[in-house]
Amino acid sequence: MKVLVATEKPFAKEAVDGIRKIVEEGGHELALLEKYTDKAELLAAVADVHALIIRSDKVTADVIAAAKNLKIVVRAGAGYDNVDLAAASERGIVVMNTPGQNSNAVAELALAMMIYMSRNCFTPGKGQELQGKTLGLMAYGHIGKLVGQKAQALGMKVIVYARHKDAATLAADGCEKVETVAELFKRSNYLSLHIPATADTKGSINYELISSMPKGAILVNTARKEVICEEGLEKAFTEREDLKYITDIAAVNQAAWNEKFGNRVFATPKKQGAETGEANVNAGLAAARQIVGYLNNGDTTFQVNK
Ligand code: 3PG
């Protein structure tokens, strides 16, 4: 069967080589569509494929409709908000992600972002240190947990809001559980977001939460831009000149914010979180294994549209 890697932001070469090996050893054929600039290229490329490996590439209903033979889509990464799950499920197409595989890369970036903002985007002037400060983690999945570990190594106190983790489990990791999102924001000198973009979370990081943060607080977003209420952030930042925001996913209003807030805001030019060779290899090879496992043995571990 034909497996397509469709990546507008390509994997490292070593990851593509590894994917090819796994796919071919599994008895399948690999096709590549990298750095495409037009959706028409994706629509044409999926026409005859049975399996699809993607990153943040948008698999919308029209892409699924164009892929007449499609059986499985694997998002090499964590967040699958770029896949139309309803359209896939309607056709009986299995959708998976590769949880945990690129987490370390994202966690390292979150820490780097905290330091970058603490040192005024590396421009002259007094910065501040992470040691002794409180880091709030909004959710505690693979990435949140790693950020917590690394932050503790730097001498930070880590507090966590995570509905499905009990206090004892978090305490064993050296973290304190907080019961409400309001408390998390109120106590965090640094706050790192690790929630997916869902109907519940979109726009949930709002004015009330942001403006309740301690003096000099830094909000770090390696999750999704959609979780931020942009109007609320702008209002809070206009009222509070001490707050800072750094994100791996530029806001819709980013250009205006850069102009208005200067060094208090920063967005990476293109999402960098999973942009390491290691993360590409981990996530890409996991995706290839999951596809071969499904096509050859019907293994649906990691299916997200059950
Ligand atoms: C993820 O959800 O895994 C990250 O956002 C990585 O996205 P990317 O593969 O587009 O870099």
- In short, whether 102's Cβ falls inside 6 Å of ligand 1 is yes
75 lines ligand 1 (CB under 6 A): no
How far CA 200 is from CA of 174, 215, 222, 239, 306, in Å, comes to: 29, 28, 18, 27, 20
Confidence at residue 136, expressed as pLDDT on a 0 to 100 scale: 99
Q: Determine phi and psi for 230, rounding to 5 degrees.
A: -65, -40
pLDDT band with cut points at 50, 70 and 90 for residue 199? very high
H helical segments located in 26-98: 39-45, 61-66, 85-90
Ligand 1 centroid–CA 78 distance in Å is 6
User: Residue 146's pLDDT is what?
Assistant: 98
pTM for this predicted structure: 0.96
Assess whether the C-beta atom of 77 lies below 6 angstroms from ligand 1.
yes
pLDDT digits (tens, 9 = 90+) for 11-23: 999 999 999 999 9
SS3 217: coil
Q: Cβ distance 191 to 136 under 8 Å?
A: yes
From CA 54, how far away is CA 151, in angstroms rounded? 31
Average pLDDT over residues 105-117: 98
The answer to whether 225 and 249 have CB atoms below 8 angstroms apart is yes
Q: How far apart are the CA of 124 and the centre of ligand 1, in A?
A: 32
pLDDT score at 99: 97
Atom 7 of ligand 1, nearest CA residue: 56
Check pocket membership of 271 for ligand 1, CB cut-off 6 A: yes
Summarize pLDDT for 287-305 with one digit per residue, the tens: 999 999 999 999 999 999 9
- In this prediction, residue 20 carries a pLDDT of 98
Q: Which atom of ligand 1 is nearest to the CA of 77?
A: 3
Here the tokens at position 73 are 């889509």
| Pairwise CA distance, residues 160 & 145, whole Å | 9
Dig out the tokens for 16 from the structure: 């593509």
Query: Where are the alpha helices (H) located in the chain, listed in sequence order?
Result: 13-25, 39-45, 61-66, 85-90, 103-118, 142-153, 167-172, 181-187, 207-211, 230-239, 254-261, 277-297
Nearest atom within ligand 1 for CA of residue 102: 3
Question: For the residues 247-266, what does the mean pLDDT come to?
Answer: 98
